Amino acid sequence: MSARALPTDRVPPVALVLTGIGSVQFGAALATTLFDDLGPSGTTLLRLAFAAAILIALWRPDPRAYSPASLRLAGLFGLVLGGMNLTFYLALERLPLGVAVTIEFVGPLGVAVFTSHRRADLAWAALAAAGIVLLADPGGGSVDPLGLLFILIAAACWAAYILLARRAGPSFEGGRGLALAMGVAVLVPLVPGVAEGGAALLAPELLLMGAGVAILSSVIPYSLEFEALRRMPANVFGVLMSLEPGVAALAGFLVLGQALGARELAAIALVVVASVGITRAASRAEGLPVNS
């Protein structure tokens, strides 16, 4: 029996990814405004708790309907999601949004390179790597070292997220796998989030903002990306996600007033140009349409 058609089935996977990118970056900018009251751990807890509640209510996953292997995969996916969110917000406390997202792209860049069979992609990857190194400014002291460590951990989690979502997608209908994973993800920031956020986690205005962050940063983008990964090679997804640095820099400027200097903007441009090059090459190789 064929699976029930979903509304997103009629949307091109590239459009799903691009919509998710815009949503998650403006959600991240909004989340940063909560750090003074909740801290990054408390903000992560609120975001994941609302995201889990919304996704479970929407999809109503029944764990009994899946094999132990599928449940283990969803559990591992959830731990990676939780770790990625927590370390990203810990980094965001110390780094501008555009800088953090660009360095975090080490994760999907690695996926793009290691899953590609085209030698030309190595040249584009080297260009993107040059941009990331320029942005990290080794020896220059302009990037907070602890923030850099956190964002590199988030990058590793992002790479694992791409690969695990690709594996988990066929095992679950719609967003049921994501809903189960999000229920596990909320456990990662639980203890530090309660310790850092305290009673402020129950403040009505912060709860409302936390719900908005959850929808923008988790529910919308993860749902769209999870669906896109069903119909898109992992390396193509990885390079499309490299457009995030430019969107993040724009969101950081518009929402947080984080203006970047010439070095940062040049580094972000290198990463975005490299991503366009790899994406066009991948599109030709896979027989996908390329927009001018």
Output the pLDDT for position 3.
52
**What are the sequence ranges of the domains in the chain?**
35-284
pTM of the model: 0.85
Low-confidence spans in the chain with pLDDT less than 70: 1-9, 138-141, 234-236, 238-239, 242, 278-292
Residue 105: count of CB within 10 angstroms of its CB: 32
Output the pLDDT for position 118.
74
Pairwise CA distance, residues 167 & 178, whole Å: 12
Output the pLDDT for position 77.
94
Output the pLDDT for position 45.
97
Output the pLDDT for position 282.
57
* Residue type, position 115, single letter: T
Instruction: Dig out the tokens for 139 from the structure.
Output: 């020896």
Pairwise CA distance, residues 233 & 115, whole Å: 9
| DSSP annotation string for 136-196 | H-TTT--S-HHHHHHHHHHHHHHHHHHHHHHHHGGGSSTTHHHHHHHHHHTTTTHHHHHHH
Instruction: Dig out the tokens for 101 from the structure.
Output: 């997202």
Q: Which whole-number Å values give the CA distances from 172 to 14, 54, 62, 166, 230, in the listed order?
A: 21, 17, 11, 11, 11
Residues 190-200 as b/e (b if ≥16 CB within 10 A, e otherwise) read eebbeebbeeb
| Cβ neighbours for 251, distance < 8 A, ≥ 6 positions apart | 25, 26, 28, 29, 97
